[in-house]
Amino acid sequence: MPNSPVRRPARPRSLRGPGQRLVGVFALFILLPGAFLGVFALRVLRQESQLARQRTRESLERTAEEIGRDLDSEFRRWNDAVRSAASLERPLVVNSFPEIVGQAFAEPGGGVFLSMSDERLEVFPAGAILYVSRSPAPAQAAPSQPLVGLAEAESLEIARKNYPSAIRAYRNLLDSADAGSRPLVLQRLARTLRKASRLEEAAGAYRDLRHLDAVWIGGLPSDLIAQAELCSLASERGDTADLAQEATAFYRDLATGKWLLDKPRYLYYSDLGRTWCRDSRVEAGEFNSLHATEGRRLALSRAAENFLDNPRTVLPGEDLAYLAFRNTDPFAAILVSADVLGSRWWQRILSSRWEDLEGVLYAAEGSAVFGSPPPATPPFAVTRDLRIDDTPWLLQIWPGRPEGIYADIRQKRTLSLTMLGFVTVLLAFGSYLTVRIVKRELEIARLRADFVSTVSHEFRSPLTGIRQLGGMLLDGRVTDPEKQRGYFKMIVQESDRLARLVENILDFSRMEEGRREYRFEPLDPSPWLRKLVPDFGSEIAANGVTVEANIPDGLPSISADGQALGSAVRNLLDNAVKYSPGEKTVWLDAEAAAGAIRIAVRDRGVGISEQDQKHIFDRFYRAEGDISKRVKGAGLGLSLVQHIVAAHDGTVECRSRVGEGSTFTIRLPTAPVKKGG
């Protein structure tokens, strides 16, 4: 039957319809919710990090409150210590105070307990402060009875300047004086000896005086007078070694608070002591350490002076601040350096709450009492007003290592982002796979539908032909025997075509199910091909097309299923004819190659584009273009060819150029093949 144009349903070449729907469904159910989730997750992340900061800040706020409570209870403990010490029997001992107070007292300038009874100031421990602004009013050991002869001796010394007589008089007095009066007489004697330029004797007298129990003479302790005079004598003599020794001892006694003097006297003697030390080149290390000790005690002394003038809780100093814990009746107070409290309390209070916590506590007037103010507001800093011991304070705390908190936040964010990224990639990959699979399934479904409709059309035209020809013959309308023969021949040809079509479909179905079986036998290609050509030629002769065969003799034998291979070659020839409209010749060439034979089917037809060449061996595939619309076909022929050739361990390849024609070459190995399926 000629290739009469058949009406075929318009073939959908693209998947735009279902594809668009698919994209739509995809966007609606996966991408849109995915994007939504992504945005939502990012928002949650941002909120998370804000929340983490907020939590840190809240925790710091709580900590600040707790620190306030801690400070309050510490203050209460110190106030209790003062109260109980104020009411204790005298003399006080260090054990009268809680341990931490005792520790503060033990440090030079660390702390002092002051109390007032009968208008007399009591300082504990002795030597904690170096001076008081009011008179110390210590119990002065006045001579137990007026010294008879003292006035006379003094008159000899001062008014008459009769030093030898005065010296004698003093010495006589010394013999008769009691312990309470001896220092006074000895001091007068030493003084007069000095005036008389009997320096050695004067020094001896002062040394004796130094060793006596001290009494106050003219507002100064007698041993202080003796030590100062010994320094002065050594200085006058230019005896640097002696001066160094005396001056060190004197300055040490001053700096360690051996004498509680009034302020002007202390400052005067301290100045003198330092000058002597420097003049005699006292060893720098020792001097500096004494000087530092004195500095700390002086600072505490100034704080005490301030406090006594104006009792209050915080006493800001030049370098150090002091806190005062006090009791009103009887008046008593503990003054303690903020430095000491800082190292004992403050660090403990901070570190017990939060690792690496830093902070500063400001007194009401703005000075930092504990901790040092940060140069700039640190991250996460929390500031709080506190009221401790009825005094307003300002507390600022902040984490010493905010990087830790940031790192924590960052770590959580990175983790969440990684997971989000992972889910996104997974979603994208899953979506891609789904789209691919669905697309392929759609394509196959479409191809199957196409196939059914194409096959129906393929069947219809030969059947119609057979039906018409048969009908005419049956009715006896054709009487000419020659015509009758021609009609019968056409019926046979159409039936062959139908049979081939059915065979192709059955082959394909077997192939699809993996049931196609081959019977391999030794096959001599030359005669086999030569027989194939006229069989096929007679089918197409009606169209005026001929097969020009070029089959050499003696091609090497192959192992093949002759019927299957014949169907493959016929399919190629069929295509060559179908896709060469207007051309009257197709070619079949065979040749021997190394270890193989080659069978090539060539035409000068429409050719196949490079793009289509990649797919023509796929099942159901039909190239784009007019020719495919005009020419019947189910897209099965070449996939069958490929399957058959592959079963023979061979290959099939296509060379084609659009408009010039195509050549399909089957290459089959000559080695015997034993295969069954």
The site for ligand ADP (CB under 6 A) is made up of: 575-576, 579, 603, 605-608, 616, 621-623, 628, 633-639, 662
Contact between 572 and 533 (Cβ < 8 Å): no
Nearer to ligand ADP by C-beta: 202 or 600? 600
Instruction: Tell the smallest beta-carbon distance from residue 614 to ligand ADP (Å).
Output: 11
CB-side neighbour CA atoms (13 Å) of 182: 15
Residue type, 370: F
User: At closest approach, how far in Å is the CB of 550 from ligand ADP?
Assistant: 18
Pick between residue 378 and residue 633 the one whose CB is nearest to ligand ADP.
Answer: 633
Residue 327 C-alpha from the chain's centroid: 54
Give the C-alpha separation, 617 to 666, whole Å: 13
**Distance between CA 71 and CA 348 in Å, rounded?**
11
**Residue 431, both tokens:** 């979506």
Instruction: Identify which of residues 337 and 639 has a Cβ nearer to ligand ADP in the complex.
Output: 639
Residue 472 Cβ, how far from ligand ADP at the closest point, in Å?
A: 30
**Smallest separation (angstroms) from ligand ADP to the CB of 498:** 15
Compute the least distance from the CB of residue 625 to ligand ADP, in Å.
7
Burial label for 402, CB within 10 Å (0-12, 13-18, 19+), is: middle
Q: How far is the CB of 603 from ligand ADP (least distance, A)?
A: 5
Q: How far is the CB of 576 from ligand ADP (least distance, A)?
A: 5
CB of 43 to ligand ADP, least distance (A): 55
Give CA–CA dist 645/635, Å, rounded: 17
User: Least distance from C-beta 1 to ligand ADP, angstroms?
Assistant: 16
Runs of H (alpha helix) within 284-401: 284-309, 338-341, 347-351
Half-sphere exposure of 607 (CA within 13 A, CB side): 11
Q: What minimum distance in Å lies between the beta carbon of 414 and ligand ADP?
A: 55
With tokens 């005699």, the residue in question is: 280
d(CA 203, CA 220): 19
Q: Pick between residue 384 and residue 457 the one whose CB is nearest to ligand ADP.
A: 457
Q: Which CB atom, from 324 or from 616, has the smaller least distance to ligand ADP?
A: 616
The neighbouring-strand residues paired with 596 are 593, 669
Cα atoms in the Cβ-side hemisphere of radius 13 Å centred on 433: 6
Tokens linked to 454:
């194409």
Q: Which of 28, 16, 27, 25 lies closest to 442, judged by CA?
A: 16
Any idea of the CA torsion for 320, 324, 325, 326, to the nearest 10 degrees?
Answer: 170
| Alpha-carbon span 252 to 254, nearest angstrom | 5
Is the CB of 306 or the CB of 665 nearer to ligand ADP? 665
- Round to whole Å and give the CA distance between 390 and 42: 49
3-state DSSP assignment of residue 118: coil
